[in-house]
Amino acid sequence: MSKAGALDLATGLGGKIDKSDVLTAVEKYEKYHVCYGGDEEERKANYSDMVNKYYDLVTSFYEFGWGESFHFAPRFKGESLRESIKRHEHFLALQLGLKPGQKVLDVGCGIGGPLREIARFSSTSVTGLNNNEYQISRGKELNRIAGVDGTCDFVKVGSVLSGDFMKMPFPDNIFDAVYAIEATCHAPDAYGCYSEIYRVLKPGQCFAAYEWCMTDSFDPHNQEHQKIKAEIEIGDGLPDIRLTGQCIDALKKAGFEVMWSKDLAVGSPVPWYLPLDTSHFSLSSFRLTAVGRFFTKNMVKALEFVGLAPKGSQRVQDFLEKAAEGLVGGGR
């Protein structure tokens, strides 16, 4: 089960970073981004370090507020956030046509929430690919609790020995299916990432992804649009946010036939960004509401003041708040 308490949040802050170094890590992370003078090319050149720092800093916040699956989902009226997330994961498994016993790769698996849900739903063996040691350690613990540690595992990337999203540590044609949930957006080059996925996937098999994209409504000359984009990038550890068309073109260039694509935000009965909208209140996802976030902010402030949370914790929450504002603004 997810770590849900205030002390769990405090002790998890910073991940594998030494608690005395958290503030320095926050400062280094911030400098990658536009709000602090950073630029896109620097983020792309140092994406592995940037993304790794990001998830060390934010994972305990995610788990505290969101649960084990760090992603959004289209929702039906009357459906809770958690229910919509599970349905979203099941839908992905169904689109892949997963069959019992198949070997599946989750690219950018977080702490393994979708991995466990999809493995149980489809009776498959899922390997999670991740560059963050803290998330992998949490994922292994949660796999053991869920009873899937015998069939599901994790592979760490991001070193000279193990490669990364752009150079996966697997032989050719090894997986029966591959999926990514709001994860390949962290790669600096969509074509390079999709090419690696194509390489490790068995011929004729499928890759399915939920990808963060800018729609054609984005105007690069509009200052408000640029502000929203920058808020999302710093708050979600992204080197850039690609247009939908760029992602589809990169898939085709990598060798894939694009069988189906859809903007899932269009036609969703409940807006995907609703959990972050401060005008919305929900008891089932109270920690994401304006009141819940106010409570969490002051709790983190108090924990940092008394030394239970490392220095820099409040600044992590600040850039997560920027992301929430940007995501709601962009969604609208």
Q: Give the separation between CA 196 and CA 208, rounded to whole angstroms.
A: 14
Q: Please, which pLDDT band fits residue 2 given cuts at 50, 70 and 90?
A: low
Whether residue 161 has pLDDT greater than 60: no
Q: Please, which pLDDT band fits residue 182 given cuts at 50, 70 and 90?
A: very high
Tokens of 144: 């053991």
Whether residue 114 has pLDDT greater than 60: yes
Compute φ and ψ for 270, nearest 5 degrees.
Answer: -120, 130
At 199-222, the pLDDT tens digits run 999 999 999 999 999 999 999 999
Amino acid 288: pLDDT: 75
Tokens of 164: 């990364």
Amino acid 162: pLDDT: 39
- From residue 79, alpha-carbon distances to 72, 83, 282 in Å are 13, 6, 11
Collect all residues with Cβ–Cβ distance below 8 Å to 299 and sequence separation of at least 6: 6, 9
pTM, two decimal places: 0.93
Q: Which of 321, 299, 317, 286 is nearest to 65 (CA)?
A: 286
Amino acid 11: pLDDT: 81
Residue type, 321: E
Residue indicated by tokens 């790794």: 52
Amino acid 283: pLDDT: 66
Classify burial at 40, counting beta carbons within 10 Å of its beta carbon; exposed 0-12, middle 13-18, buried 19 or more.
middle
What is the average pLDDT score of the chain? Answer: 91
Amino acid 228: pLDDT: 94
Which of these ranges, 189-198, 205-214, 302-311, has the smallest mean pLDDT? Answer: 302-311
Which of these ranges, 1-5, 108-112, 185-189, 204-208, has the smallest mean pLDDT? Answer: 1-5
Amino acid 33: pLDDT: 93
The pLDDT > 70 percentage for the chain reads 96
At 218-251, the pLDDT tens digits run 999 999 999 999 999 999 999 999 999 999 999 9
Q: Which of 150, 56, 72, 154 is nearest to 112 (CA)?
A: 154
Collect all residues with Cβ–Cβ distance below 8 Å to 44 and sequence separation of at least 6: 188, 189, 239, 240
At 270-298, the pLDDT tens digits run 999 988 888 877 766 777 777 778 888 88
Mark 3-18 as b/e (b = at least 16 C-beta within 10 Å). Answer: beebeebbbbbbbebe
Beta carbons within 10 angstroms of residue 260's beta carbon = 6
Amino acid 165: pLDDT: 79
Amino acid 314: pLDDT: 93
Asked if residue 250 lies in contact with residue 191, where contact means CB atoms within 8 angstroms, the answer is: yes
Tokens of 57: 């800093």
CA 125 to chain centroid: 21
Tokens of 81: 């956030």
Whether residue 3 has pLDDT greater than 70: no
Average pLDDT over residues 37-58: 92
